[in-house]
Structure formats: structure tokens, C-alpha cells
Amino acid sequence: MKTQVICAAAACAMAAGLAHAQGPMTYQPSPYIGGDALFWELDPEGGGGDFDSTGLRLRAGVAFNDYFALEGHLGTGGSDSGLDLDYLAGGFAKGMLPITPQFTLYGLLGATEVEFDGADSESDVSYGGGGSYALMPNLSLDADYVRYLEESSYDFDAVSLGATFHF
């Protein structure tokens, strides 16, 4: 498991280096911050019943151009049948595909650590995708789906809806 996290972090670092090494940059890196409602679900294997709830997620990142960004996620909150999400923390490489000047699709690949109810934290390679719609040049509405953990005994997924402010 730790090997997967190290490999994902190394891949993100190499992708950032490649994005920077592409020659003279004509694009100024653009930081952003966002907040989301996090609709999470813990799905145990073997039919033990799903746990789902709503929490909050903060995102922050830097877009290096129109196609690549590095992004971090911090989330918490929500409880279902006594199962509480203490926290999630992840780092992602974000590949973006502008469809129109206002609408962009994106994919996420990275690593996340998650802890429930003070139990031991779990970490895993995480992946997902979503879309962003620019309301104004510095404000967008966003929606995404992320598989944060994929363990042998359960999966932890979330759908998020929120807004992002671009500096």
C-alpha cells in the first residue's frame, strides 16, 4: 500500500517536472481554491450494508497551463450509523481538457489517506474525474467523482459539488 502511495507521488512529481520542462512558459501558473459538499459512501464487500453521508471538502491547487494542474484535497464530516469520517487528505495530478471557453473536463490521479472514527488511517492510489463550468473568469462551478480508497474489504467513493475561485 505504501509503495502505491510512493509511486503515485513520484508520478505526480515527474509530471510536474515534464510540464515545466516543455520549454519557455507562455502561461503564468494560476493558483485556485475551492469548497465542496462531499457526498461520500463507504461500500463494504460482502453485503454488510453501505454507509453514506455528507461532509465538506476543501481543494487548492496550481494550474500550470490549460491542461495540467496539481491539486490537494482536505475533507471531513458526515456520520452514518455511528461511522464518522474523521478526515481525508490527498494530492493529485489533474489533467484538463477544455471543451469550450467555459466548460472543462478533467481527470484526477493521486494518493489519499483516509481515517474513520479514530481507527487506523488507510491510504491508497486515488482516481476520478469531473467537469468545471466558468461563471466568470475567476469563478467556476465544479462537480466530480473520486474513488479515494479501493481496499479488499471496502471501497470509499465521493461525489462533490462546489465552487472554485481562481486567483
The model's pLDDT over 136-164, given as tens digits with 9 standing for 90+, comes to 999 999 999 999 999 888 899 999 999 99
**What's the DSSP call for residue 144?**
E
The span from the CA of 7 to the CA of 9, in Å, is 5
Domain 2-166: give its CATH code. Answer: 2.40.160.20
Give the 3-state secondary structure percentages of the chain, helix then strand then coil, rounded to 5. 10, 65, 25
Q: What is the mean pLDDT of the chain?
A: 87
Q: Which band of pLDDT confidence, cut at 50, 70 and 90, is reported for residue 25?
A: low
**Structural domain spans, the chain:** 2-166
Phi-psi region of 148 (alpha: psi -120 to 50; beta: other; left: phi over 0): alpha
Q: What is the pTM of this model?
A: 0.82
> Rounded mean pLDDT of 102-130?
94
pLDDT at 47: 64
pLDDT at 45: 78
